[in-house]
Amino acid sequence: MPEWLRVILFIIFVLSFAGLNAAYLVWCERKGAGHIQRRIGPKEVGPFGLLQPLADGAKLMSKQLFLPKGVDPILFMVAPLMVMVPAIMSFCVIPFSETFVAREINLGLLMIFAFASVNVLGLLLGSWGSANKYALIAGARCVSQNVAYEIPMLITTITMVMVTNTMNLNEIVRSQAGWFIHWHIFRLDMSLLMPVSFLIFFVCSLAETNRAPFDMAEAESELIAGAYTEYPGMGFGVFFMGEYANIVIGCALTAILFLGGWQAPIPLNFGGFLGVLWGMSWFFLKLYALIFTVIWIRWTYPRTQFYELLNLSWKVLIPISLFNLILTALQIKIFPWL
Amino acid sequence: MLLAKIKEALQSLYEDIGDAAEIPAAADAVAAAATAAAPEAETLPEEATPEGEESKEEEVEETAAADAPAAAPPGPKETDYAAKGYHLDVELKPEKIPAAADILYRENFFIESITGVDWIDEQQLEAVYDFNHFDELCRVVIRTRTDRNNPEVPTISHIYQGANWHERETHDFFGIKFSGHPNLEPLLLPEDADFHPLLKDFKA
Amino acid sequence: MNGTLQQDVNQETFTLNLGPQHPATHGVLRVKLVMDGEYIVEAEPVLGYIHRMHEKMGENRTWAKFLPNCGRMDYLSALSYNHGYVAAVERAAKIEVPERAEYIRVITVELNRISSHLLWFGAFVLDLGGFTPLLYAFDDREFILDLLESVTGSRLTYCYFRFGGVYNDIDDAFIAGTREFIKKQRKRMPMYDALVTKNIILIKRLKEIGPISKDMARRYGATGPVARGSGINYDVRKHEPYSVYPELDFDIPVYEEGDSMARYMVRMDEIEQSMRIIEQALDKLPEGEIKPKKAVKMVKPEKGDYYHAVEAARGSFGVRLVSDGKNQAYRLKLRSPTYSNLSLYGEATKGMLLPDALALMGSLDLVIPEIDR
């Protein structure tokens, strides 16, 4: 397959995946919330309410793009895109299967983190441009939250890079081949605190994507809709898609780093097209299991208080992840045969 | 026990009434109550009318029924709790209200509500304060009457902070000015309201 | 506009209008906040958005015609308001109530109290960002609403009590349904305990947040669960017994801490106590009339003023009647508990963070139509 065709196909795939995924994650979330709350959830539009996302999308798109008085029009319009676009860009390096990856680059991990940091800038600009006090509070919260949680997340990532010796996501997955005990989360021989690393990384990705119980940017019972307060129609819709795309990125990274990405739990691999399907199905299984956990947490727990959130990061996660880093480094250098 | 104590404490508010001479010595309970109620020195025409007198008479008889003595001196009156729902009925001059609230405050009473009654026939506005006690059942009602055309009662919001809103509400509905109140602006009514809907002559 | 809120332009504070359309105020309440970052410098509630002047309506219609108004103030525990009003009029007009009617009143009022607390529970956790308990609480509450609908004819704005009795007798189906509800609810409470009360996030958000001292409660006249959460053992049902409460055995949950958690625990414990009351009342329910033998046609209380207080779900609800002997009130004062409970909000929230202040507001259990009347 020529390179240009591959890239075009991948752009189509990534865009449609990000869009559909966001739409159907909303449906999943509503269905999931419904079952957790002992009700049915969407059921009117189409079978099992499966066409509900289309109806929602049509509603959002047909709404007037209204600019409230006093907003900064450029920042206001650009902000949703700044949340959405980097999230989609990150999909380019995610290995859905061994061969099903747009660009296998050596610094894939670094690229995802670089793009993920733009997300918070988008939220901040949107909340600043909204000329709304609630949005501004949410923006300020969002920045301090993201700064606080990026640190333990990155330290944990460094730990992982140390044990795998690569930043290439596909290489990281390949290094977990074999039985499921070769997945990094079970590799205590690589780093004693591997499950802890997994937990820290998952919690941080929850916080980075502003999901409950850390949804300080939205906090609807405190800040109305937080940073999104003034956004009408599709402006809000794009924010929303960006948020869901970020959740997918966060969960995908967790799956790749710790749960073996597209590796099956048994040492069984196929070649060709079947291999692509085999790898993708395992990857998506892990991905959606993690996403379900995220949804589950959201509909079970109340929201944390903001200073508790920061305390958790600065007083608990950062020291533990630093300790973990040093321990892993020692383990690699002093007991390299392990 | 608390009742007797508080009754005695409130009685002291009657003793230093400077113009004691104005209270007719001969009087029966009716006149005494009526005079104590009326703002001093102002003899309102309505008060002399038979109707006003009559309505007064019945009311006082009602409250005094449990207490028996016909010629009660001015002071806190114990009432029949089962019939009325409160224990002590205290009628004071407006300027004595903060002192009374202070006495109750020191006895650990809490404030239930403040409200007004428009006695249009007598051209008077009555402010009614309800106090209650957390530990012992003792409901004290303090009431004061003021001129309907220029109603003014000193505030007690510096003693009971909770009175702040009750006084604002009473000002909204009756126009009673609580002098010394920090922020006597409409609370339940619109902020530009200049009417007092619970006055009997209010027409929407 | 408001004298007490003066903003110095040189200081780094800003004014934030919380409401009148805000998810956490549960209605049209507005709180003017002067904020320093996320810290509250000053908070002043602005009331009256749904003020309907029920007290004036009381002066314009006969005693009986005011009955439907009682269900439209505290729409979550409307029967307590019914009870307070009819009890006050009965005291004034010296109307005897048959014992069976009193028992029915207690049973329905306590059911209504449970439904009110359940709704509060759900809405409070929703304020804290937890969605799911609201739906569970509504599920339970639905059971009560069905029960009460079968006997009162309405689901929310009850007008069930009459002077001297109640409108409708309860039947065996109601009694069986109530017992079944209690059985079911007793099984549900441990689930709420595990899901919500013992949740570490919830505990961290409520413990030592929004303290209300005994003294503050007294100065502002706070009653009900707010006072009981501050260590004040005050419940009108025990303190000033009315109806058949003296014949029933129940406890008053009191917590000393005065924080939001204490108020939360008081209400959760009260659900159990109300169920105890209902069980005993059902056991003791006597046979007999539910209305006086001679129908009460024209209520004309004697001249004078009367007071009667009952324990509504949110605190002490008092009715002060001034009668001039006619068939309608000369003056009808309704003492609403949350009006007093909310008045301490400005003092209690000084220096607090916004989310904590909203947790405090939720723990006061506000029903705006009752505050504005």
CB C41 within 8 A of CB C350: yes
Number of domains present in the structure of chain B:
1
For the beta carbon of residue C373, count every other beta carbon within 10 angstroms: 23
The interface predicted TM-score (ipTM) is 0.83
Residues of chain A found within 8 Å of residue C128, distances taken between Cβ atoms: 221, 302-303
Strand order in the sheet with C304-312: C304-312, C315-323, C331-335
Does the distance separating the beta carbons of C139 and A299 come in below 8 Å? no
Handedness of CA A111, A113, A114, A119 (dihedral sign): positive
Q: Do chains B and A touch (3 or more CB pairs under 8 A)?
A: no
pLDDT tens-digit series, residues B86-131: 888 888 888 888 888 888 888 888 888 888 888 888 888 888 898 8
**B71-94: burial string, b at 16+ Cβ within 10 Å, e else:** ebebbbbbbebebbbbbbbbbbbb
Residue A54 lies in a domain: no
Kindly report the CA angle at A32 between A30 and A34, in degrees rounded to 5? 65
Please, what's the b/e burial string for A108-147 (b: 16 or more CB within 10 A of its CB; e: otherwise)?
Answer: bbebbbebbebbbbbbbbbbbbbbbbbbbbbbbbbbebbe
The nearest CA of chain A is from the CA of C236 a distance in Å of: 33
Q: Determine whether the interchain pair C335/B197 forms a contact, defined as Cβ–Cβ distance below 8 Å.
A: no
Q: Is residue B142 assigned to a domain?
A: yes
Within 8 A of C199 by CB-CB distance, chain A residues are: 301-302
d(C-alpha C209, C-alpha B46), whole Å: 56
Distance from CA of C20 to the nearest CA of B (A): 14
Distance CA C155, CA B13 (A): 51
Cα–Cα distance for residue pair C143/C181, rounded to 1 Å: 7
Quick check: is A15 in a domain? no
Q: Does B58 contact C at CB distance below 8 Å?
A: yes
pLDDT digit string (tens) for chain A, length 338 residues: 677 887 788 788 888 887 788 788 888 888 888 888 888 888 888 788 888 888 888 888 888 877 888 888 888 888 888 888 888 888 888 888 877 777 778 888 888 888 888 888 888 888 888 888 888 888 888 888 888 888 899 899 888 888 888 888 888 888 887 777 778 777 777 777 888 888 899 988 888 888 777 877 777 777 777 778 888 888 888 888 888 888 888 898 898 888 888 887 877 777 777 878 888 888 889 988 998 888 888 888 888 888 888 888 888 889 999 998 888 888 888 876 65
The answer to whether position B165 is within a domain reads yes
Note whether C251 and C273 are within 8 A (CB).
yes
Rounded Cα distance between C351 and C31, Å, is 15
Contact between C218 and B190 using a beta-carbon 8 Å cutoff: no
CB A17 within 8 A of CB A245: no
Q: Residue B98 is part of a domain; what is its CATH number? A: 3.30.460.80
Q: Which domain holds residue A72?
A: 65-334
Domain that residue B136 falls in: 77-179
A315 CB near a chain C CB, below 8 Å? no
Q: What is the Cα–Cα distance from B168 to B189, expressed in whole angstroms?
A: 10
In a domain, A111, yes or no: yes
The answer as to whether A49 is a domain residue is: no
| Residues A37, C125: C-beta atoms closer than 8 Å | no
A316 touches chain C (CB under 8 A): no
Whether residue C337 is preceded by a cis peptide bond, meaning omega within 30 degrees of 0, is no
A39 reaches C (C-beta below 8 A): yes
Q: C interface mutation test: which of A40, A211, A221, A299 has the most C CBs within 10 A?
A: A221
Tell whether A47 is covered by a domain: no
Which residues, other chains included, contact A248 with Cβ-Cβ below 8 Å and sequence gap of 6+? A18, A21, A25, A287, A291
Give the count of domains, chain A: 1
All partners of chain B with 3 or more CB pairs under 8 angstroms: C
| Interchain CB distance below 8 Å, C353 and A307 | yes
Nearest chain C residue to A301 by CA distance is C130
**Can you give the pTM of this predicted structure?**
0.83
For A12, how many CA atoms within 13 A lie in the half-sphere containing its CB?
5
Residue C157 carries which DSSP code?
A: S
Spatial distance between the Cα atoms of C314 and C225, rounded to a whole number of angstroms: 7
Residue A325 lies inside a defined structural domain of this protein: yes
User: Is B43 among the domain residues?
Assistant: no
Q: Give the distance, in angstroms, between the CA of residue A26 and the centroid of all CA atoms in the same chain.
A: 15
